[in-house]
Amino acid sequence: MADNFTTLQVIAAIIIVTIAYLVRGITGFGSGLIAIPLLSLMLPLSIVVPLIGFLDYSCSLVHGIKLRNHISWQLILPLLPFSLLGVFLALYLFNTIDALLLKKILGIFIISYALYTLIAIKTHIHRDKLWAIPGGIFGGLIGTLFGTGGPFYVIYLQLQGLTKATFRASIATILFLDGSARIIAYFANGFYTHETLTLIAWTLPIMSIAMFMGGHIHTNISHDKMQKGIGVLLLFSGTALLIS
C-alpha cells in the first residue's frame, strides 16, 4: 500500500469501484458516473479521473472487441475530431481552473444528469451527423475533466435510431477511442503519478471481478427502475460534492 493513502481510503476506493463496475456489468453503463463523484469526496480529481479513465478504457476495449461486427463507423468517424478538440480544451482547463471549483462544477453536472435520468426525457430520432459536433466536443471535454463524458455520446447515438446491438458496439468503440486519447493526454501531462498507478494496481482486478459478476447476474429489476435507482444515487453524490 502506498504511504500516501490511508487504509480507509484504499478500502473505500475498492468498495466504490466494486459497486460501480458491478452496476456496469449488469446495465452496460454508469461506472464513471457512480465512481467519480464518490471517490472525489476523499481523493483529488487529478487522481480520480485518470484512475477511472483507465478502468473504463479497459472495459470498453473488451466490449468493443466482442461486438466489433456491429460497429457503426459512419457515425463514429465524424465524432472523433470534435472529441479531440474537447480533450485539448479540457486539458487547458484542468491546468488553469482551481481544483475546488472543478469539484463544484462536477457536482452541478452530476445533479443535472441525475435529474435528466429521473425525469426520463425522451430523445427523438434525428438522423443528422451534425449532432457529432456538440456530442463530440462535450463528450471529450466533460470526459477528460470529469471522466463522465459518456452521456453526450449516448444521446448522440440515441438520436440516430440504432438497433440495440449496433448501439452497444458503437458506444463501446467511441469510449475506447475517446479513452485512448484521454489516457495519452493524461500521461503526457503527468497525471499518472505513482499514487494513481498504485490505485490502478489495487482496483483493476477488483473491476474485472465486478464486471464478470455483473455480467452474470440475472435480475428482475427492469432497466428503467435500475436507471432511476442510479439517478437517485447520483443526486445524493452530486449534492455531497457541492456541500463538501
| Bigger pLDDT: 88 vs 237 | 88
Q: Would residue 36 count as lying in a domain?
A: yes
Cα distance between residue 237 and residue 37, in whole Å: 6
Residue 5's SS3 state is coil
Question: Can you give the pTM of this predicted structure?
Answer: 0.77
Cα distance between residue 140 and residue 148, in whole Å: 9
Dihedral (CA of 53, 59, 65, 68) sign: negative
Where does the pLDDT of residue 54 fall: very low under 50, low under 70, confident under 90, or very high at 90 and above? very high
Cα distance between residue 92 and residue 72, in whole Å: 31
Average pLDDT of the chain, as a whole number = 83
Domain range holding 229? Answer: 7-243
pLDDT tens digits, 178-218: 888 889 989 998 999 988 998 999 899 999 999 888 877 75
Cα distance between residue 77 and residue 79, in whole Å: 5
What's the total number of domains in the chain? 1
pLDDT at 15 over 60: yes
Cα distance between residue 195 and residue 132, in whole Å: 36
pLDDT at 242: 82
Q: Would residue 184 count as lying in a domain?
A: yes
Q: Would residue 2 count as lying in a domain?
A: no
Cell of 4: 500516501
pLDDT tens digits, 85-143: 999 998 888 878 887 888 888 888 888 888 877 886 665 566 667 888 988 998 899 88
pLDDT at 206: 94
pLDDT at 78 over 80: yes
Q: Would residue 1 count as lying in a domain?
A: no
| Bigger pLDDT: 4 vs 192 | 192
Q: Would residue 63 count as lying in a domain?
A: yes
